[in-house]
Amino acid sequence: MSPHMAHRLRRTAALGTLAAVLAVGSVAGTVSAATPSSGAVAAFTRTYASVAPGTIGAYYTDRYGAAHNGYSSPAVGDVTGDGVLDLVAGQANGYVYVYRASDGAFQRRIQVDPTPGTVISSPTLVDLNGDGRLDIVAGFMPQNEGAATRTIGGFDGATGGVLFSKKTCTWAGAPCNVFSTIAVGDVDGDGAPDLVATSQDHYLHAWHTNGTYLAGFPVRVYDTTWSSPSIVDLDRDGTAEIVVIPDLDSNVCEQSPAGCSPGQYGSIVRVVESNGVISANRVIQGEITISSPAVGDITGDGYPEIVFTSGSCFRYQTGCGAGSPPSYGAERLLHVLDRNLNDVFTPRALKNAAQTSPALLNVNGGSGEIAVTDNEGWLYLYDTSGNQVWSTCGRSSTSACRTGIYGTTPSIGTDASPVVGDVDNDGKPEIVFQGEAVLRVYDAATGAVEYAHTLYGDPLPVGNQVSSPTIFTMGGVTRIAYHVLFEANGNGARDGGDRDGMFLFTSTASGVGAYSWPAFRGNATDRHGSMGALPRIDHASTPEGRFIAKAYVDLLGRSVDAGGLRYWYTVVRSSGRASFARQTVYASPSCEWARTVVAGYYTSILGRAPDNTGSEAWTQDLCNRRRLARDVAAFFYGLPEYYNSHGGTPESFVDAVYPAIMGRSPDAGGRAYWISQVRASGSTAVAATLYQQQEPREFRVKGQYVYLLGREPDAAGRRYWASRLLYQDDLELTIDLVSSQEYYQTP
């Protein structure tokens, strides 16, 4: 990304001032007079407007000098450990602010990094240290990236202590700030939450809560990313995928085959598997997608769709905004893609440029709908056929929304994103949207306003507000939290003299309805960007789980335990079947496989249970690879115990060992030869030599094929592996067969 990207995100001077509000006079009488829908009508009381003590001190810009709007929206959860919900949001001074949700009491503010910078990211809540309490995670945009300690910070909400610290500066020369919101979900299937983050460093990051990378991460996505990631089981195979939409500068496709062709630019939708493999790509030509994708099944086909708006036109590329008036308009499109990244319908042009993030809902119980806004304050409802159901102006004055503002024409920047929930418990969803200085609740079916509250002057002036509201439940009642920046010093500018604040609205309806998209990124805690709760992976029902369970029985002679299944599932997904097989055979900390092999030698060769001392010694030799399995087996056949238990004579020994290691009785010539060798060298030497002859090696190859694959090897395979067993251990064949596609696909 070049520095001109910052200019594509800049706003006009009016955006951070009171001009947008004051230009329309008093807003008290400007609320839409549309007729409410039939049935219940949402009604709320303004519970509080909490103003943080002291000013914010500074309104920092990013590394390019751009001052961003205050997009950070409230996260909800008990982060202080007092048993009461808290509201957490970021601010342009580089802090996150914590308020007690019940009464709005200011709890504390936490500096994300000691260096100057801004928090655009909406906080995400997750238990980072296993103490049972939610902690705070937020992205950071430092002014001086070289001096910054971190671009993502995780903090104890009770003390402000640092629990997680990452500086996403992976790609040399690329910016490394984090504009987006961190997503949390079980990506690798180990049953524990993982943190997923985009950055402007050209990489997608995924960490365990202890700060270690998931296997396969970070993943290079080849350009900067403003959009937040979504975690979802996109193909319904029981494992998580990550949907991410990075930029695509024109030189990216020329320099690297990154899922695009020379001449393409804009953005690229990438699907990243839980093991870090990019499995699908789709170029969005001509657009820089700022919008974070909303993912959910809105068509009713059982698979999620990916919904997003454009963002910002590549005004510095040929064809975008060219001509007068601008003719391209790529940055005002609403996209809906299926799980294969094909268009569900032809992208729809909104009235204006849009970098907002859609919300997903279902109005009438059939196919779903999409609530989306643009940068001029229009709110729309679309169905899954691409039909616009309705649109309405959501600015302070409902007659103030402009049309045709895209291309090179700067927008007013009323680019807040909507949220959805049945806030009045009437069985029908409402859309909650904040435009400039008025928060409104809309009937989702008709667009009629059911409730409105003017934030300006309550108790202080406010400028243009663009954060998303948050719908949540507290005390068995629906609430709406809204994060603001109060214009405290009256100078009409966004600066250090302003103060952070939080509104709370309480529904007057009894009971709580369903919330389909109640917060930015769909959830006010883990922000995973997909509809509903992420399903817990049923490891046993996945192909990997079935493979692991089968291998446990075949290799260890027992069923896999739940913890082992979770652990090995992540190994198979991230490192492959061969890694699982090799670790099971050679690297098990408990030496279980080696112990199983040794026990098998005792019972099958000596015909008795192993003694503890001898068995453990052989187990440690095999586990630590001081001996090869084939040498241990040959040694057991040569033991005096075996010799004596099979007649105690050279003749009886040869007659017993031939069927055991070759599967047939000795021929006359062979019998005579090996009897003479026993008399000359003893049973131990003969067993070691005989075990590694061509025929015994082929017999062992056949045995493993039949045991693991249920069939005999073909002649070429038998000869190939017999030759390898002359120099390699038999366990290499075990690993190869267990890792094979044939074994994986065989029930």
Domains recognised in the chain with CATH numbers = 4-522 (2.130.10.10), 539-745 (1.10.3130.20)
Cβ of 263: how many Cβ atoms within 10 Å?
9
Confidence (pLDDT) at 406 = 79
Q: Residue 523: name the closest of 186, 132, 231 by CA.
A: 231
pLDDT of residue 256: 66
3-state secondary structure string across 672-706: HHHHHHHHHHCHHHHHHHHHCCHHHHHHHHHHHHH
**Percent of residues in the chain assigned helix, strand, coil, to nearest 5:** 25, 25, 50
The parts of the chain modelled with pLDDT lower than 50 are 1-38, 315-316, 319, 321-327
Q: Quick one: tokens of 53?
A: 């003590």
Question: pTM for this one?
Answer: 0.80
Task: Indicate the SS3 state at residue 399.
Answer: coil
Is the peptide bond prior to 229 cis by the omega test (within 30 degrees of 0)?
A: no
- Written as one letter, the residue type at 523 is N
Structure tokens that stand for 690 in this block:
């005989």
User: Would you state the pLDDT for residue 25?
Assistant: 26
Find out whether the peptide bond into 418 is cis, omega within 30 degrees of 0: no
What pLDDT shows up at residue 535?
67
Residue 133 is which amino acid? R
Give the model's pLDDT for residue 314.
53
pLDDT at 420: 97
Q: Which of 482, 483, 471 is closest to 91 using CA atoms?
A: 483
Q: Which of 293, 336, 328 is nearest to 312 (CA)?
A: 328
Nearest alpha-carbon partner for 235 in 297, 292, 304: 304
Residue 569's pLDDT is 86
Which position has the token pair 């909104």?
350
According to the model, what pLDDT value does residue 200 have? 93
Residues 736 and 585: their CA atoms lie apart, in Å, by 11
| Bridge partner residues of 312 (DSSP) | 288
CA dist 636 and 639 (Å) reads 5
